[in-house]
Amino acid sequence: MQEIILSEKFNMKADIKEVGDDLLVLITGGNKPHLGAVAFGINALDGSATDDKNIDDFYKLCLPTHRDDFLSDKIAPELSKKLKRNVAVLSGVHVDNIKKEEIEEIVGLVPEFINKILKNC
């Protein structure tokens, strides 16, 4: 896996792994890295999603009491769209006593995170 530093302030990193034609991105950080959510961005250009109107191009799963999906939900579909491939983003970032302003700061950094990941794909 290739490791990318996303935010030194929040100790956040992304580990990227090619899985055949697909991409796996693991985003962890804070003082208690973990797995809290996963989102899949599905490449509709291969015909698999467009042939069946009941198939979406985005799926997610978030563990109970976790809110890590705010990262994976934004990053997976954007990477999939730009890379034209299936992308799974697992995320788990826990910062003890995080303030609302710090959460907003992390959310505001998501476009930068996406760009950093794209530069390394």
Q: What percent of the chain has pLDDT over 70?
A: 89
Number of domains present in the structure of the chain: 1
- Give 90-100 pLDDT, tens digit per residue: 999 999 999 99
CATH (domain of 81): 3.30.230.100
Q: Scanning the structure block, which residue is given the tokens 């003890």?
A: 96
Both tokens of 20, joined, read 């055949």
Q: What is the DSSP letter of 75?
A: H
Residue 65 has pLDDT above 60, yes or no: yes
Q: Residue 25: give the domain boundaries.
A: 2-119
The model's pTM is: 0.89
Ramachandran class of 20: left when φ > 0, alpha when ψ lies in -120 to 50, beta otherwise? left
Structure confidence at residue 57 as a pLDDT band (50, 70, 90): confident
The 37-41 sheet, strands edge to edge: 2-7, 12-19, 22-30, 87-94, 37-41, 58-62
Q: What is the pLDDT of residue 47?
A: 55
Rounded CA separation 100/31 (Å): 17
48 or 80, which is more confident:
80
